[in-house]
Amino acid sequence: QVKYVVELARALANTEGVYRVDLLTRQIASPEVDSSYGEPNEMLSCPSDGTGSCGAYIIRIPCGARDKYIAKESLWPYIHEFVDGALNHIVNMARAIGEQVNGGKPTWPYVIHGHYADAGEVAGHLPGGLNVPMVLTGHSLGRNKFEQLLKQGRLPKDINASYKIMRRFEAEELGLDASEMVVTSTRQEIEMQWGLYDGFDLKLERKLRVRRQRGVSCFGRFMPRMVVIPPGMDFSYVTTQDTMGGDTDLKSLIVNDRTQTTRNLPPMWSEVMRFFTNPHKPTILALSRPDPKKNVTTLLKAFGECQPLRELANMTLILGNRDDIEDMSNSSSVVLTTVLN
């Protein structure tokens, strides 16, 4: 989620008509994290022809104990402190930008976008006082997580003790209620995940949308608009290399090329490639936690049962843990054991 939000801020700042994007997060001045986490301001990007304070910035707001990292499950007591800091920053920045581009009149944000449950609650408190619309992206939803943990045999009280899940429900409901629009990655997220919340009803949302389109009164009823934006990737950082000296059909990569020039390869290369009979084939790379929700076993099964795909490519799974499988949580150990078997 962090990479997604940072790349979104950069992309928005490079969009025509957008002057500035501020990404607000918590300031941490602790030896446990990189020193940059303690910097109050960090520029992400600035247009080459930009003037004043335009561009994308990370703004780190003091909230809770600054000298230590606080897990997200323990941040709830500091939400209102962060709201106050965010509001103070927005007011000051509105005045500063107004001086630069609006003849001295404050320039207020066009939209406030809350990400995840805690920032969704923060964003939910801001629109009323600023008269600015709010957008919400849940990324990972508490009620869906709760249902998955119950299926694994966890007790509700244990789940709440570990994840403060009930407080998370409250934050997600508040953010949902304050939003004009909710960004999702799939229809499944709308129907099967947001559908678990009191603040969203799929059938009612459709009826209200039709009434608005027809210009018919909704009798004061409101429900945020759900929008699907599928996951994407920024390919500007990707460089391609012709491993065979030119454009080559994938099938030709099946044959080992012993004459290939040795390049400077990372040490990890030999650790991975020693398992392949033909390391020169393209690699299908999957990275995730060994979590049942990630569906790694289905991916592996599909690859194993597709001979044409196996002939064209190798598969590498990076499942994030180097611990002893026996010491891991039951769900993670089951996934890894299944993969290894």
Q: What is the CATH number of the domain that holds 214?
A: 3.40.50.2000
Q: Is residue 234 one of the residues assigned to a domain?
A: no
Residues 244 and 165 in one domain: no
CA dihedral (32, 38, 41, 45) in degrees, to 10, reads: -20
Residues 17 and 118 in one domain: yes
The one-letter code for the residue type at 82 is: F
**Residue 265, SS3?**
coil
Q: Is residue 53 one of the residues assigned to a domain?
A: yes
Q: Is residue 147 one of the residues assigned to a domain?
A: yes
The per-residue pLDDT for range 178-234, each reduced to its tens digit, is 999 999 999 999 999 999 999 999 999 899 989 989 999 998 888 999 999 988 777
Per-residue pLDDT, 295: 87
Q: Given 169, 198, 228, which residue is the final one in a domain?
A: 228
The per-residue pLDDT for range 284-317, each reduced to its tens digit, is 999 988 888 888 999 999 999 999 999 999 999 9
Residues 209 and 64 in one domain: yes
The one-letter code for the residue type at 224 is: P
Q: Where are the alpha helices (DSSP H) in 114-258?
A: 116-125, 127-130, 142-151, 156-163, 165-178, 187-188, 202-214
Instruction: Give how many domains the chain has, as a whole number.
Output: 2
Residues 158 and 273 in one domain: no
Q: Is the pTM of this model over 0.75?
A: yes
Q: Is residue 257 one of the residues assigned to a domain?
A: yes
Q: Given 208, 228, 248, which residue is the final one in a domain?
A: 228
Q: Is residue 233 one of the residues assigned to a domain?
A: no
Cα–Cα dist 289/148, whole Å = 15
- Residue tagged 């940072």 (tokens): 6
The per-residue pLDDT for range 67-114, each reduced to its tens digit, is 999 999 999 999 999 999 999 999 999 999 999 999 999 999 999 999
Mean pLDDT of 148-172: 93
C-alpha atoms less than 13 angstroms from C-alpha of 165 in its C-beta half-sphere: 21
Look up residue 274 and give its DSSP letter: T
Residues 109 and 130 in one domain: yes
Residues 38 and 62 in one domain: yes
Q: Is residue 235 one of the residues assigned to a domain?
A: no
Enter the tokens of residue 249: 């059909």
Q: Are 291 and 332 in contact (CB under 8 A)?
A: yes
Find the domain containing 294 and state its range.
240-340
